[in-house]
Amino acid sequence: MIGTLTTLIWRDVRQSYASGGTWLPVVFYLSAATLFPFVVGPDRDLLLQTGGGILWIAALLATLLPVDRLIQPDLDNGIYDQLITRGLTDELIAFARLISHWLSFGPPLLFAAFLASGLIGLEGVPLWTLLASLAIATPALAGLAVMIAAITAGLTGASALGGLLLIPLAIPLLIFGAGSLSDVTGNALLFLGAVSLLLVAITPFAAGAALKAARE
Amino acid sequence: MNGGQSTESEKALVADKLCCVRGDRMLFKDLDFRLETGMAGLLTGPNGVGKSSLLRLIAGLLDPFAGTVSAPASKALCDDKLPLDEHLSLENALQFWVKLDQRSDADMLNAMEHAGLDHLAEVPVRYFSTGQRQRVRLARTYLSGAKLWLLDEPANGLDTASVDRLGSVLQAHLKDGGIILAASHIPLPINFDLNLVLEPMVEAT
Protein backbone atom coordinates (compact mmCIF):
# COMPACT_ATOMS: atom_id res chain seq x y z
CA MET A 1 0.00 0.00 0.00
CA ILE A 2 2.73 2.46 1.02
CA GLY A 3 4.83 1.38 -1.94
CA THR A 4 1.94 2.00 -4.31
CA LEU A 5 1.30 5.42 -2.79
CA THR A 6 4.96 6.37 -3.09
CA THR A 7 5.06 5.25 -6.73
CA LEU A 8 1.97 7.33 -7.57
CA ILE A 9 3.23 10.42 -5.74
CA TRP A 10 6.74 10.17 -7.13
CA ARG A 11 5.48 9.99 -10.71
CA ASP A 12 3.31 13.10 -10.27
CA VAL A 13 5.96 15.13 -8.48
CA ARG A 14 8.68 14.25 -10.97
CA GLN A 15 6.42 15.06 -13.88
CA SER A 16 5.36 18.35 -12.36
CA TYR A 17 8.91 19.57 -11.69
CA ALA A 18 10.20 18.22 -15.01
CA SER A 19 7.51 19.93 -17.09
CA GLY A 20 8.17 23.27 -15.41
CA GLY A 21 4.51 23.55 -14.42
CA THR A 22 5.61 23.95 -10.83
CA TRP A 23 7.21 27.32 -11.52
CA LEU A 24 4.14 28.83 -13.14
CA PRO A 25 2.51 29.81 -9.81
CA VAL A 26 5.87 31.20 -8.66
CA VAL A 27 6.22 33.44 -11.69
CA PHE A 28 2.58 34.49 -11.40
CA TYR A 29 3.05 35.27 -7.73
CA LEU A 30 6.13 37.38 -8.29
CA SER A 31 4.42 39.25 -11.15
CA ALA A 32 1.49 40.13 -8.88
CA ALA A 33 3.88 41.37 -6.20
CA THR A 34 5.80 43.43 -8.75
CA LEU A 35 2.69 45.04 -10.19
CA PHE A 36 1.14 45.88 -6.85
CA PRO A 37 3.42 48.86 -5.95
CA PHE A 38 2.74 50.34 -9.39
CA VAL A 39 -0.97 50.34 -8.58
CA VAL A 40 -1.02 51.76 -5.05
CA GLY A 41 2.13 53.85 -5.32
CA PRO A 42 5.44 53.54 -3.51
CA ASP A 43 4.15 54.71 -0.10
CA ARG A 44 5.93 52.38 2.31
CA ASP A 45 3.31 52.45 5.06
CA LEU A 46 0.46 51.74 2.67
CA LEU A 47 2.39 48.87 1.08
CA LEU A 48 3.12 47.35 4.48
CA GLN A 49 -0.51 47.68 5.52
CA THR A 50 -2.08 46.14 2.42
CA GLY A 51 0.77 44.04 1.02
CA GLY A 52 0.07 40.92 3.09
CA GLY A 53 -3.55 40.82 1.95
CA ILE A 54 -2.56 41.17 -1.69
CA LEU A 55 -0.08 38.34 -1.35
CA TRP A 56 -2.87 36.22 0.09
CA ILE A 57 -5.16 36.92 -2.85
CA ALA A 58 -2.32 36.16 -5.22
CA ALA A 59 -1.84 32.80 -3.47
CA LEU A 60 -5.51 32.04 -3.98
CA LEU A 61 -5.37 32.87 -7.68
CA ALA A 62 -2.15 30.90 -8.07
CA THR A 63 -4.10 27.91 -6.78
CA LEU A 64 -6.23 27.98 -9.93
CA LEU A 65 -3.35 27.93 -12.40
CA PRO A 66 -2.53 24.22 -12.33
CA VAL A 67 -6.15 22.96 -11.99
CA ASP A 68 -6.58 21.81 -15.60
CA ARG A 69 -3.44 19.67 -15.44
CA LEU A 70 -4.11 17.89 -12.16
CA ILE A 71 -6.70 15.25 -13.06
CA GLN A 72 -7.73 15.60 -16.70
CA PRO A 73 -4.62 14.20 -18.42
CA ASP A 74 -4.55 11.01 -16.33
CA LEU A 75 -8.29 10.60 -16.71
CA ASP A 76 -7.94 10.91 -20.50
CA ASN A 77 -5.14 8.42 -20.92
CA GLY A 78 -6.82 5.83 -18.73
CA ILE A 79 -4.30 5.75 -15.89
CA TYR A 80 -7.06 6.01 -13.28
CA ASP A 81 -9.00 3.21 -15.02
CA GLN A 82 -5.93 1.00 -14.74
CA LEU A 83 -5.42 1.85 -11.08
CA ILE A 84 -9.06 1.02 -10.28
CA THR A 85 -8.72 -2.26 -12.19
CA ARG A 86 -5.84 -3.07 -9.84
CA GLY A 87 -8.18 -2.64 -6.90
CA LEU A 88 -7.08 0.81 -5.72
CA THR A 89 -9.87 3.05 -4.49
CA ASP A 90 -10.77 6.46 -5.87
CA GLU A 91 -10.12 7.93 -2.43
CA LEU A 92 -6.57 6.58 -2.36
CA ILE A 93 -5.91 7.95 -5.84
CA ALA A 94 -7.24 11.36 -4.78
CA PHE A 95 -5.19 11.24 -1.57
CA ALA A 96 -2.02 10.51 -3.55
CA ARG A 97 -2.88 13.38 -5.91
CA LEU A 98 -3.36 15.72 -2.95
CA ILE A 99 0.05 14.90 -1.51
CA SER A 100 1.86 15.03 -4.84
CA HIS A 101 0.20 18.32 -5.75
CA TRP A 102 1.07 19.86 -2.40
CA LEU A 103 4.71 18.77 -2.81
CA SER A 104 4.95 20.55 -6.14
CA PHE A 105 2.81 23.55 -5.16
CA GLY A 106 3.37 24.33 -1.45
CA PRO A 107 7.14 24.73 -1.16
CA PRO A 108 7.54 26.76 -4.39
CA LEU A 109 4.66 29.04 -3.34
CA LEU A 110 6.24 29.67 0.06
CA PHE A 111 9.52 30.43 -1.67
CA ALA A 112 7.74 32.86 -3.98
CA ALA A 113 5.95 34.46 -1.02
CA PHE A 114 9.28 34.99 0.68
CA LEU A 115 10.68 36.76 -2.39
CA ALA A 116 7.50 38.75 -2.96
CA SER A 117 7.49 39.96 0.65
CA GLY A 118 10.88 41.46 -0.02
CA LEU A 119 9.50 43.36 -3.01
CA ILE A 120 6.76 44.85 -0.88
CA GLY A 121 9.00 45.49 2.09
CA LEU A 122 7.48 43.12 4.63
CA GLU A 123 9.94 42.10 7.32
CA GLY A 124 10.11 40.92 10.90
CA VAL A 125 6.96 39.60 12.56
CA PRO A 126 4.53 40.42 9.69
CA LEU A 127 6.76 38.49 7.28
CA TRP A 128 6.87 35.42 9.49
CA THR A 129 3.14 35.60 10.17
CA LEU A 130 2.45 35.72 6.44
CA LEU A 131 4.73 32.77 5.74
CA ALA A 132 3.24 30.80 8.65
CA SER A 133 -0.31 31.46 7.49
CA LEU A 134 0.53 30.45 3.91
CA ALA A 135 2.37 27.36 5.15
CA ILE A 136 -0.74 26.34 7.08
CA ALA A 137 -3.03 27.10 4.15
CA THR A 138 -1.11 25.53 1.25
CA PRO A 139 -2.30 21.96 2.00
CA ALA A 140 -5.89 23.24 1.92
CA LEU A 141 -5.27 25.22 -1.27
CA ALA A 142 -3.76 22.10 -2.84
CA GLY A 143 -6.79 20.14 -1.66
CA LEU A 144 -9.19 22.67 -3.17
CA ALA A 145 -7.31 22.51 -6.47
CA VAL A 146 -7.52 18.70 -6.54
CA MET A 147 -11.23 18.74 -5.64
CA ILE A 148 -12.04 21.33 -8.29
CA ALA A 149 -9.91 19.53 -10.87
CA ALA A 150 -11.76 16.27 -10.19
CA ILE A 151 -15.20 17.89 -10.23
CA THR A 152 -14.65 19.83 -13.44
CA ALA A 153 -12.72 17.07 -15.26
CA GLY A 154 -14.25 16.41 -18.66
CA LEU A 155 -16.37 19.56 -18.72
CA THR A 156 -16.02 22.27 -21.32
CA GLY A 157 -15.13 25.62 -19.82
CA ALA A 158 -13.68 23.82 -16.83
CA SER A 159 -11.27 26.59 -15.92
CA ALA A 160 -13.94 29.30 -15.70
CA LEU A 161 -16.14 27.02 -13.64
CA GLY A 162 -13.14 26.21 -11.45
CA GLY A 163 -12.76 29.86 -10.57
CA LEU A 164 -16.39 30.11 -9.55
CA LEU A 165 -16.11 27.00 -7.42
CA LEU A 166 -12.92 28.11 -5.71
CA ILE A 167 -14.14 31.49 -4.47
CA PRO A 168 -16.82 30.39 -1.97
CA LEU A 169 -14.79 27.41 -0.77
CA ALA A 170 -11.71 29.53 -0.17
CA ILE A 171 -13.42 32.36 1.76
CA PRO A 172 -12.82 30.81 5.22
CA LEU A 173 -9.15 30.38 4.38
CA LEU A 174 -8.91 33.94 3.16
CA ILE A 175 -10.69 35.39 6.21
CA PHE A 176 -8.53 33.65 8.77
CA GLY A 177 -5.37 33.74 6.66
CA ALA A 178 -5.44 37.44 5.87
CA GLY A 179 -6.93 38.07 9.31
CA SER A 180 -3.91 36.51 10.98
CA LEU A 181 -1.73 39.30 9.59
CA SER A 182 -3.28 41.88 11.92
CA ASP A 183 -4.10 39.51 14.75
CA VAL A 184 -1.56 39.66 17.59
CA THR A 185 -3.20 36.92 19.69
CA GLY A 186 -2.53 34.18 17.13
CA ASN A 187 -6.11 32.91 17.30
CA ALA A 188 -6.67 33.51 13.59
CA LEU A 189 -3.82 31.14 12.82
CA LEU A 190 -5.48 28.46 14.94
CA PHE A 191 -8.77 28.91 13.08
CA LEU A 192 -6.86 28.83 9.81
CA GLY A 193 -5.31 25.56 10.91
CA ALA A 194 -8.74 24.13 11.69
CA VAL A 195 -10.20 25.14 8.31
CA SER A 196 -7.13 23.83 6.55
CA LEU A 197 -7.36 20.45 8.29
CA LEU A 198 -11.04 20.18 7.43
CA LEU A 199 -10.45 20.87 3.72
CA VAL A 200 -7.54 18.44 3.61
CA ALA A 201 -9.64 15.79 5.34
CA ILE A 202 -12.56 16.01 2.92
CA THR A 203 -10.43 16.24 -0.24
CA PRO A 204 -9.83 12.48 -0.76
CA PHE A 205 -13.54 11.74 -0.35
CA ALA A 206 -14.90 14.63 -2.41
CA ALA A 207 -12.34 14.22 -5.20
CA GLY A 208 -12.71 10.43 -5.03
CA ALA A 209 -16.47 10.69 -5.47
CA ALA A 210 -15.96 13.02 -8.43
CA LEU A 211 -13.53 10.55 -10.04
CA LYS A 212 -16.06 7.77 -9.60
CA ALA A 213 -18.79 9.91 -11.14
CA ALA A 214 -16.54 10.76 -14.08
CA ARG A 215 -16.39 7.04 -14.99
CA GLU A 216 -20.14 6.68 -15.31
CA MET B 1 -17.08 -0.01 -6.18
CA ASN B 2 -16.97 -3.74 -5.59
CA GLY B 3 -20.73 -3.77 -5.39
CA GLY B 4 -21.52 -6.94 -7.27
CA GLN B 5 -18.26 -8.74 -6.65
CA SER B 6 -17.97 -11.59 -4.21
CA THR B 7 -14.68 -12.84 -2.82
CA GLU B 8 -15.41 -16.53 -3.17
CA SER B 9 -14.58 -18.33 -6.38
CA GLU B 10 -11.56 -16.12 -7.01
CA LYS B 11 -10.14 -18.61 -9.45
CA ALA B 12 -12.76 -18.30 -12.15
CA LEU B 13 -14.54 -15.49 -13.91
CA VAL B 14 -18.23 -15.96 -13.23
CA ALA B 15 -21.11 -13.75 -14.32
CA ASP B 16 -24.49 -14.42 -12.80
CA LYS B 17 -27.62 -12.77 -14.26
CA LEU B 18 -25.51 -9.77 -15.13
CA CYS B 19 -27.35 -6.69 -16.28
CA CYS B 20 -25.87 -3.44 -17.54
CA VAL B 21 -27.54 -0.07 -18.00
CA ARG B 22 -25.74 2.91 -19.57
CA GLY B 23 -27.52 6.20 -19.69
CA ASP B 24 -31.17 5.21 -19.87
CA ARG B 25 -30.55 2.23 -22.10
CA MET B 26 -30.28 -1.38 -21.04
CA LEU B 27 -27.36 -2.93 -22.92
CA PHE B 28 -27.73 -6.55 -21.83
CA LYS B 29 -29.50 -8.48 -19.13
CA ASP B 30 -29.41 -11.89 -17.47
CA LEU B 31 -25.98 -12.62 -18.82
CA ASP B 32 -24.56 -15.87 -17.39
CA PHE B 33 -21.19 -17.33 -18.21
CA ARG B 34 -18.25 -18.97 -16.53
CA LEU B 35 -14.60 -19.05 -17.51
CA GLU B 36 -12.32 -21.36 -15.53
CA THR B 37 -8.56 -21.23 -15.29
CA GLY B 38 -6.95 -21.78 -18.68
CA MET B 39 -10.08 -20.87 -20.62
CA ALA B 40 -10.60 -18.15 -23.19
CA GLY B 41 -13.83 -16.40 -24.11
CA LEU B 42 -14.61 -14.46 -27.26
CA LEU B 43 -17.07 -11.62 -27.07
CA THR B 44 -18.80 -10.62 -30.27
CA GLY B 45 -21.72 -8.50 -31.34
CA PRO B 46 -22.48 -5.33 -33.28
CA ASN B 47 -21.05 -1.94 -32.30
CA GLY B 48 -22.63 -0.34 -29.25
CA VAL B 49 -24.07 -3.59 -27.95
CA GLY B 50 -22.10 -3.33 -24.71
CA LYS B 51 -18.91 -5.34 -25.25
CA SER B 52 -16.64 -2.66 -23.84
CA SER B 53 -19.11 -1.98 -21.03
CA LEU B 54 -19.05 -5.66 -20.08
CA LEU B 55 -15.24 -5.62 -19.96
CA ARG B 56 -15.25 -2.43 -17.88
CA LEU B 57 -17.85 -3.93 -15.60
CA ILE B 58 -15.70 -7.01 -14.99
CA ALA B 59 -12.69 -4.75 -14.44
CA GLY B 60 -14.59 -3.01 -11.65
CA LEU B 61 -14.89 0.31 -13.46
CA LEU B 62 -18.67 0.14 -13.67
CA ASP B 63 -21.19 -1.23 -11.23
CA PRO B 64 -23.63 -3.84 -12.51
CA PHE B 65 -27.25 -2.68 -12.61
CA ALA B 66 -28.27 -6.13 -11.41
CA GLY B 67 -26.61 -9.52 -11.00
CA THR B 68 -23.11 -10.27 -9.84
CA VAL B 69 -19.73 -10.84 -11.35
CA SER B 70 -16.86 -12.46 -9.54
CA ALA B 71 -13.42 -12.24 -11.04
CA PRO B 72 -9.87 -12.99 -9.95
CA ALA B 73 -8.42 -10.04 -8.04
CA SER B 74 -5.48 -9.78 -10.40
CA LYS B 75 -6.82 -8.56 -13.71
CA ALA B 76 -5.58 -6.43 -16.56
CA LEU B 77 -7.67 -4.33 -18.90
CA CYS B 78 -6.40 -3.55 -22.39
CA ASP B 79 -8.67 -0.96 -24.01
CA ASP B 80 -8.21 1.89 -26.46
CA LYS B 81 -6.46 4.17 -23.99
CA LEU B 82 -2.70 4.31 -23.65
CA PRO B 83 -1.96 4.79 -19.96
CA LEU B 84 1.64 5.93 -20.34
CA ASP B 85 3.40 9.26 -20.07
CA GLU B 86 3.81 10.12 -23.73
CA HIS B 87 6.86 12.36 -23.36
CA LEU B 88 8.89 9.56 -21.74
CA SER B 89 10.74 6.85 -23.60
CA LEU B 90 8.89 3.54 -23.73
CA GLU B 91 11.05 1.84 -21.11
CA ASN B 92 10.90 4.79 -18.72
CA ALA B 93 7.14 5.08 -19.16
CA LEU B 94 6.70 1.36 -18.51
CA GLN B 95 8.82 1.64 -15.37
CA PHE B 96 5.84 3.23 -13.59
CA TRP B 97 3.77 0.08 -14.15
CA VAL B 98 6.75 -2.16 -13.34
CA LYS B 99 6.92 -0.53 -9.90
CA LEU B 100 3.17 -0.47 -9.40
CA ASP B 101 2.69 -4.11 -10.34
CA GLN B 102 5.87 -5.13 -8.52
CA ARG B 103 7.44 -6.65 -11.59
CA SER B 104 11.12 -6.85 -12.50
CA ASP B 105 13.07 -5.25 -15.31
CA ALA B 106 13.43 -8.71 -16.84
CA ASP B 107 9.62 -8.96 -16.99
CA MET B 108 9.54 -5.63 -18.78
CA LEU B 109 12.12 -6.68 -21.38
CA ASN B 110 10.24 -9.91 -21.84
CA ALA B 111 6.93 -8.12 -22.38
CA MET B 112 8.48 -5.68 -24.86
CA GLU B 113 10.03 -8.57 -26.75
CA HIS B 114 6.74 -10.47 -26.92
CA ALA B 115 5.04 -7.37 -28.30
CA GLY B 116 7.88 -6.79 -30.79
CA LEU B 117 8.89 -3.50 -29.20
CA ASP B 118 12.42 -4.24 -27.99
CA HIS B 119 13.98 -2.01 -30.64
CA LEU B 120 11.75 0.92 -29.62
CA ALA B 121 12.67 0.96 -25.91
CA GLU B 122 14.32 4.36 -26.05
CA VAL B 123 11.83 6.10 -28.34
CA PRO B 124 9.38 8.53 -26.68
CA VAL B 125 5.87 7.09 -26.71
CA ARG B 126 4.39 10.11 -28.50
CA TYR B 127 6.22 9.19 -31.73
CA PHE B 128 4.58 5.77 -31.96
CA SER B 129 2.32 4.81 -34.86
CA THR B 130 -1.17 3.36 -34.46
CA GLY B 131 0.02 -0.23 -34.67
CA GLN B 132 2.95 0.42 -32.37
CA ARG B 133 0.64 2.01 -29.82
CA GLN B 134 -1.53 -1.08 -29.89
CA ARG B 135 1.54 -3.22 -29.29
CA VAL B 136 2.43 -0.99 -26.32
CA ARG B 137 -1.05 -1.56 -24.85
CA LEU B 138 -0.54 -5.30 -25.26
CA ALA B 139 2.97 -5.15 -23.78
CA ARG B 140 1.57 -3.37 -20.73
CA THR B 141 -1.02 -6.12 -20.35
CA TYR B 142 1.63 -8.85 -20.62
CA LEU B 143 3.72 -6.95 -18.10
CA SER B 144 0.94 -6.70 -15.53
CA GLY B 145 1.36 -10.34 -14.49
CA ALA B 146 -2.39 -10.47 -14.01
CA LYS B 147 -4.35 -13.70 -14.16
CA LEU B 148 -7.37 -12.40 -16.02
CA TRP B 149 -6.81 -10.47 -19.23
CA LEU B 150 -9.69 -8.35 -20.50
CA LEU B 151 -8.90 -7.41 -24.07
CA ASP B 152 -10.93 -4.88 -26.01
CA GLU B 153 -10.18 -5.28 -29.73
CA PRO B 154 -6.60 -6.44 -29.10
CA ALA B 155 -5.83 -6.92 -32.80
CA ASN B 156 -6.89 -3.43 -33.88
CA GLY B 157 -4.24 -1.85 -36.09
CA LEU B 158 -1.89 -4.83 -35.90
CA ASP B 159 -0.21 -6.31 -38.96
CA THR B 160 -0.59 -10.05 -39.65
CA ALA B 161 2.76 -10.95 -38.11
CA SER B 162 1.81 -9.10 -34.93
CA VAL B 163 -1.57 -10.84 -34.78
CA ASP B 164 0.21 -14.20 -34.98
CA ARG B 165 2.59 -13.14 -32.22
CA LEU B 166 -0.40 -11.98 -30.14
CA GLY B 167 -1.94 -15.42 -30.64
CA SER B 168 1.10 -17.24 -29.32
CA VAL B 169 1.33 -14.97 -26.25
CA LEU B 170 -2.36 -15.54 -25.51
CA GLN B 171 -1.84 -19.29 -25.92
CA ALA B 172 1.08 -19.21 -23.46
CA HIS B 173 -0.98 -17.21 -20.96
CA LEU B 174 -3.76 -19.79 -21.05
CA LYS B 175 -1.22 -22.55 -20.56
CA ASP B 176 0.10 -20.74 -17.47
CA GLY B 177 -3.37 -20.88 -15.94
CA GLY B 178 -4.59 -17.49 -17.08
CA ILE B 179 -8.07 -16.50 -18.19
CA ILE B 180 -8.81 -14.38 -21.26
CA LEU B 181 -11.94 -12.56 -22.28
CA ALA B 182 -11.50 -10.77 -25.58
CA ALA B 183 -13.86 -8.64 -27.63
CA SER B 184 -12.66 -8.76 -31.19
CA HIS B 185 -14.04 -8.56 -34.70
CA ILE B 186 -10.67 -9.58 -36.12
CA PRO B 187 -10.21 -13.36 -35.88
CA LEU B 188 -7.63 -14.20 -33.22
CA PRO B 189 -5.45 -17.28 -33.82
CA ILE B 190 -6.39 -19.15 -30.64
CA ASN B 191 -9.13 -21.60 -29.73
CA PHE B 192 -11.90 -20.07 -27.69
CA ASP B 193 -13.72 -22.22 -25.16
CA LEU B 194 -16.67 -19.88 -25.04
CA ASN B 195 -18.36 -17.76 -27.65
CA LEU B 196 -20.37 -15.01 -26.10
CA VAL B 197 -22.61 -13.24 -28.58
CA LEU B 198 -24.27 -10.06 -27.36
CA GLU B 199 -27.50 -9.23 -29.19
CA PRO B 200 -28.98 -5.74 -29.37
CA MET B 201 -31.82 -5.41 -26.87
CA VAL B 202 -35.25 -4.83 -28.35
CA GLU B 203 -36.92 -1.90 -26.64
CA ALA B 204 -39.92 -3.12 -24.66
CA THR B 205 -41.98 0.02 -25.19
Q: How far is B93 from chain A (nearest CA, A)?
A: 10
Kindly determine whether residue A7 and residue B85, on different chains, have CB atoms separated by under 8 Å. no
Sign of the Cα pseudo-torsion (A98, A171, A120, A136, in order): negative
CB neighbourhood size of B27 (10 A): 23
Query: Taking CA atoms, what residue in B is nearest to A4?
Result: B100
Residue-averaged pLDDT of chain B: 89
pLDDT greater than 70 at residue A200: yes
Chosen for mutation from A6, A13, A14, A85 (greatest number of chain B CBs closer than 10 Å) is A85
CA distance A53 to A59: 10
Q: Is B37 helix (H, G, I), strand (E, B) or coil?
A: coil
* pLDDT tens figures, A50-101: 888 889 999 998 998 888 889 999 999 999 999 999 999 999 999 999 999 9
First to last CA, chain B: 31
Interface check B72 vs A, CB under 8 A = no
B81 and A76 within 8 Å at the Cβ level: the answer is: yes
pTM assigned to the model: 0.90
What is the β-pairing status of strands B194-197 and B40-44?
parallel
Report the complex ipTM. 0.89
pLDDT tens readout for residues A113-163: 999 998 888 888 889 999 999 999 999 999 999 999 999 998 888 878 888
Residue among B99, B125, B136, B148 with most chain A CBs within 10 A, to mutate: B99
The minimum CA-CA distance between A81 and chain B, rounded to whole Å, is 7
CA distance A79 to chain B (A): 5
pLDDT band at B3 (very low <50, low <70, confident <90, very high): very low
pLDDT tens profile A5-27: 999 999 999 988 888 778 888 89
Mean pLDDT of B148-162: 93
Q: Is the minimum CB–CB distance between B76 and chain A shorter than 8 Å?
A: yes
Residue in B73, B82, B99 nearest the CB of A7? B99
Residue A146 is predicted with a pLDDT of 96
Instruction: Provide DSSP, B128-168.
Output: --HHHHHHHHHHHHHHT--SEEEEESTTTT--HHHHHHHHH
d(CA B205, CA B202): 9
Q: Does B112 touch chain A (CB under 8 A)?
A: no
Confidence of residue B204 (pLDDT cuts 50, 70, 90): low
Q: Look at residue B202 and tell me whether its pLDDT is greater than 80.
A: no
Are B179 and B12 in contact by the 8 Å Cβ rule? The answer is: yes
Euclidean distance between CA atoms A122 and A55, whole angstroms: 11
Binding-face residues of B in 44-63 toward A, CB within 8 A: 56, 59-62
Chains A, B: CB contacts under 8 A, how many? Answer: 53
Using alpha carbons, select from B55, B45, B48, B2 the residue that is nearest to residue B23.
B48
Contact assignment for A15 to B82 by CB distance below 8 Å: no
